[in-house]
Amino acid sequence: MRRPLTTFAAVAVTTLSALVGTGQAAHGRAVTGTYSTGGTQAWRPLPTVRVGDDSGGPVDATVVADPAATRQQYAGVGFSLDETSVSNLWKLTPAEREKAVRLLVDPERGAGLDRFRLTIGSPDLIEHLPFWSLDDLPAGVTEDFGLKHFSVRRDIDLHIIDTIKLIQRYNPRATFFASAWSAPAWMKTNNRFTGEVALRPGSTTEHYQVGKLRDDCIDVFARYYVKFVQAYARHGIRVDALTLLNEPGMDVVYPAMDISVAQQQKLALAIKRELRAARLDTQLYVHDFNFWDWRDPNSTATKNYHRIFEDAPDGSVTGAQVRAAADGIAFHPYWGDPGVMRDARKETGKPVHVTETSDLAPSTVLDDFRLDASSYVLWAQTTDQDGGTLHWTPARDNDIDWEQVGATTKWPNRLVKVNTVTKDFTVRDELYGLGQFAKYLAPGDVRLESSATENGVGNVVFRSRKGGYVAVLGNGTGSDSRVRVVVGGQKFVVTVPADSFATYRWKGQDSRG
């Protein structure tokens, strides 16, 4: 059962008044907690309190969650395994590399990050040129509809698969999804894997992506995706989801491709058809682009990719068919209103995911979860001590000097900094706040509708798949805050340290573990 947010907000005060005086079957159950303010105060234990511990005195904030008002399932918090990030991890000594990965992903001794983005061929961020697809052709060969030249050899040689294995060792519950930035060059209208841009007719400032997916290559591109999933499965890696294409139509010169709404519809159906034929249950996320590109009622320039769920004008595809093929909607946050996630989920019934972001703030994770995001995945989070070892440019120059780009482009202050001289690493303080989510939540946990931020204290509350509850509270004030938590017939009061994220866990009345 789901209740509209407005309805929930209207009854929250009444619900609190009723529950505070309720006798509790779970009275006395232990509520355990940890908190983080950064690396010096990381996942520290908090005093245990008991369900029912509430003198009724004044508090700084109250969190009310309704077990009957369920929202989205948690799917994970993590980062991308782009070639630049992997390359830098492999500049560490073996011992330091294991230490880094364990700190990032181990749910017992580290942050427990558990959701990872793979790239199908080269993304827009690599250290080692040239950019590549998984079906590059030898000289004299112009097409490969049988995909005889398909290979993940470069994924092996660049240690991407080795890194996944290391993650799996320290976090067996880790999950992986994958995105392509472009089809192989021979599947495109301009026979070019990297992007190619041109000025829009009549404009001196607006560009468009020249390279488009060939209509006759929609089916083979779908088979290309399935071969990737199968190739990784042979290495013991389950890819549980694919995105339709990373940022379709971006006017950039790094790997990119345009696919129209009509092509997106046909490609979605083709991918699902090929997955079924291969007896794979891999999910498919559509869009994989900005909030703005899905829909923006205040703009006439938005791509309005929500039209993928409408009937094709020529009658070749119905919106119902595409809805059946799509298992989720993927978003990036670089332009637009994040509230579109809640709208998209409400309108389509599909889970929504943040599949790429550079925002490390745990407060944004909390906010996005409250807007129904099931997952939150960071993009390209490991560079060297100078913020380098990458090839990325915003320039619209089809003849760009990629060697020069690699020598001059810097992305400092990512999550992990590898010192290539001393062969060690450091991490940013935000990792520990991210861990307050990932360490304690698990796929299948379901978020409950809960009351809004009060006096600087934000919250998300989940019912765990084992029947208990997990509440993540963010105290954005400079003082410790007393917080009353009320979930169903259970209530207690905790003190959330200043400028921290804290996670509390307790067994519910119907707990199975």
Mean pLDDT of all residues belonging to the chain: 94
pLDDT tens digit string along 235-261? 999 999 999 999 999 999 999 999 999
pLDDT at 148 over 50: yes
What is the spatial distance between Cα 160 and Cα 81, in angstroms, rounded to a whole number? 7
Mean pLDDT of 153-180: 98
- For the cut 80, the answer to whether the pLDDT of residue 341 exceeds it is yes
pLDDT at 12: 44
CA distance 28 to 506: 10
CA dist., res. 287 & res. 250, Å (int): 12
Could you count the other beta carbons within 10 Å of the beta carbon of residue 444? 13
**Structure confidence by residue, pLDDT tens digits, 392-412:** 999 999 999 999 999 999 999
Mean local confidence (pLDDT), 431-437: 98
Using alpha carbons only, give the angle 249, 250, 252 rounded to the nearest 5 degrees. Answer: 130
pLDDT of residue 27: 64
User: pLDDT exceeding 90 applies to what percent of the chain?
Assistant: 91
- Closest CA relative to residue 121, chosen from 111, 130, 108: 130
**Reported pTM:** 0.93
CA angle 457, 449, 31 (to 5 degrees): 60
> Rounded to the nearest 5°, which phi and psi values hold at 164?
-60, -45
Q: Note the pLDDT tens digit of each residue in 65-87.
A: 999 999 999 999 999 999 999 99
Q: H-helix or E-strand containing 157? A: helix 153-157
pLDDT score at 14: 39
pLDDT digits 0-9 by tens, 85-99: 999 999 999 999 999
Could you read off the pLDDT of 264-312 as tens digits, one per residue? 999 999 999 999 999 999 999 999 999 999 998 888 889 999 999 999 9
* DSSP per position, 9-66: HHHHHHHHHHHHT---TTTT-EEEEEEESBTTB-SEEEEEEETT-------SEEEEEE
The residue to which tokens 């993928």 are assigned:
308
Amino acid symbol at 472: V
Is pLDDT at 7 greater than 50 in this prediction?
no
Residue 101 has pLDDT above 80, yes or no: yes
Distance of alpha carbon 306 from alpha carbon 246, whole angstroms? 16
Given this model, what pLDDT does residue 510 score? 52
Rounded CA-CA distance 37/79 in Å is 21
Residue 269: both structure tokens together = 């159906």
DSSP H stretches of helix in 311-400: 319-325, 340-348, 362-370
Segment 432-441 shows an average pLDDT of 98
77-to-14, 237, 433, 472 alpha-carbon distances in Å: 34, 18, 11, 14
Task: Dump pLDDT digits (tens) for 300-315.
Answer: 889 999 999 999 999 9
